[in-house]
Amino acid sequence: MTNSPFAELGLTDRLVRALRAAKYHKPTPVQQKAIPLLLEDADLLGIAQTGTGKTAAFTLPLLQNINEDGIKPLPSTTRALILAPTRELALQISDSIKTYGFHFNLRHTVVMGGVSQGAQVAALKRGVDILVATPGRLLDLINQRRLKLSECEYLIIDEADRMLDMGFIRDVRKIVDLLPEDRQTMLFSATMPAEVAKLAEEILYEPERVEIAAKTVAVEKIEQRVHHVGKPAKKDFLVKLFDDGDLSKVIVFTRTKRGADQVVKRMAKSGIKAEAIHGNKSQNNRQRALKNFQDGRTRALVATDIASRGIDIDHVSHVINYELPNEPESYVHRIGRTARAGTSGIAISMCDIEEWPQLKAIEKLIKRPLTPVGEVPADFAKPAQGRGKPPARRGPPRRRNRNRNSRQSTRKAA
């Protein structure tokens, strides 16, 4: 294939054709940087958030490398493992593999919690080329001896910071210990808390580092407003916002699952079609809610941070922060749902007096103030001390005795 900027990165014709069909015209910055390195078998530390095109950045070279190896997977094994913190993200990665790998004859499957394991077990029995998994279900299946990781030569850990937030880091370490040392490893994370940096250091071998600053992908293109609204008035205020027809496809963030359900109820009362996604909903329920929202059958999706993580929905018109998150980084993740793939978007935050410290922390992180709409009540500027601090991180990871020899690429020698 001639003249494709993807071919210039070293990708084969089969991938170039699949990308053309997906209407990708040129690589995103993370793809530009990561793909040539990964094709050369390097380990990689990728600091990039959802929306940068990071999934294709690791999936495309993986497909090509695996296909070039030409090895058939043994029963109950996988040749590559992609770990994702949430089911939604796992399914999205799986969709990407399907799209980009259209012209390859590779087997892939997803294992994740929340659905029965029968079909997953059956798929693993034959062996797969690429397995996408959430950590909990993966360990379950390994403990049941449905899968061995001894043949797995490629490991990708996606959204490592969210793995940490969700308490999966120990599981991730357990899983990594089951893989051969001679492998290619990639770790992606939107942010680099100390514990993720430590994990990266332990599991990556002389990694290349590719960093795409969160601010350039999300914050700058988004119009960010803040309304100072007292807690009791928030529901009515939210419903009023929806009088504006421009709010066509809106994600509303709440801090708690209960809060999400309550907001949906209140919106329903006012005739606004909304559904909630959070951890208490079944997988089917969450998928249906996402689909209804994606297809425009509901106007609003009400989500908690964890449930929303990694969801990839096009043309979100507005993100509303019904409550401000405790961690300012979550704000950047949230508003990144609007302004995907180069479009601009609007983020509206509601801040009550107790959330003032969170607001200040957000403004400090993004290095600019949100635009206040309406009056700032005088008492808002005198916050209660000590509120809004991010929660303490979990304890330090156990020490590993890392003694990995230089990985020799036997694949490429063949």
Measured CA distances, 383 to 360, 364, 388, 399 (Å): 10, 16, 10, 41
Taking the CB of residue 65, how many other CB atoms lie within 10 A of it?
21
Question: With binding defined as CB under 6 A, does residue 55 bind ligand AMP?
Answer: yes
- One of 4, 12, 32, 50 touching ligand AMP (CB under 6 A): 50
Which is nearest to 387 in space by CA: 350, 360, 349? Answer: 360
Spatial distance between the Cα atoms of 39 and 63, rounded to a whole number of angstroms: 10
Closest CA to 56 of 81, 39, 31: 31
- Site residues for ligand AMP, 192-221, by CB under 6 A, read none
- Scanning 50-58, 192-200, 369-377, 404-412 for contacts with ligand AMP by CB under 6 A, the matching segment is 50-58
Enumerate residues 78-117 that contact ligand AMP by CB under 6 A: none
CB 154 within 8 Å of CB 78: no
Nearest Cα to Cα of residue 393 among 99, 176, 213, 161: 161
89/152 with CB nearer ligand AMP: 89
CB 70 within 8 A of CB 95: no
- Using the rule CB under 6 A, is 54 a contact of ligand AMP? yes
47: helix, strand or coil: strand
C-alpha distances in Å from residue 155, one per residue of 267, 355, 360: 43, 40, 38
Give the one residue of 56, 289, 335, 348 binding ligand AMP; rule: CB under 6 A: 56
CB of 166 to ligand AMP, least distance (A): 18
Query: Could you say whether residue 191 binds ligand AMP (CB under 6 A)?
Result: no
CB of 204 to ligand AMP, least distance (A): 20
Q: How far from the centroid of its chain's Cα atoms is residue 156's Cα?
A: 13
Residue 196, C-beta contacts closer than 8 angstroms, at least 6 positions apart: 160, 161, 164, 187, 189
Q: Closer to ligand AMP at the Cβ: 158 or 323?
A: 158
Shortest Å, Cβ 171 to ligand AMP: 23
Candidates 20-28, 173-181, 201-209, 273-281: pick the segment binding ligand AMP (CB under 6 A).
20-28
Does 28 participate in binding ligand AMP (rule CB under 6 A)? yes
Q: Considering only residues 299-358, where is the footprint of ligand AMP by CB under 6 A?
A: 312, 341
- Judged by CB under 6 A, does residue 24 bind ligand AMP? yes
Among 18, 33, 46, 53, binds ligand AMP (CB under 6 A): 53
Residue 27, interface with ligand AMP (CB under 6 A)? yes
Instruction: Provide the binding-site residues for ligand AMP, judged by CB under 6 A.
Output: 24, 27-28, 31, 50-56, 312, 341
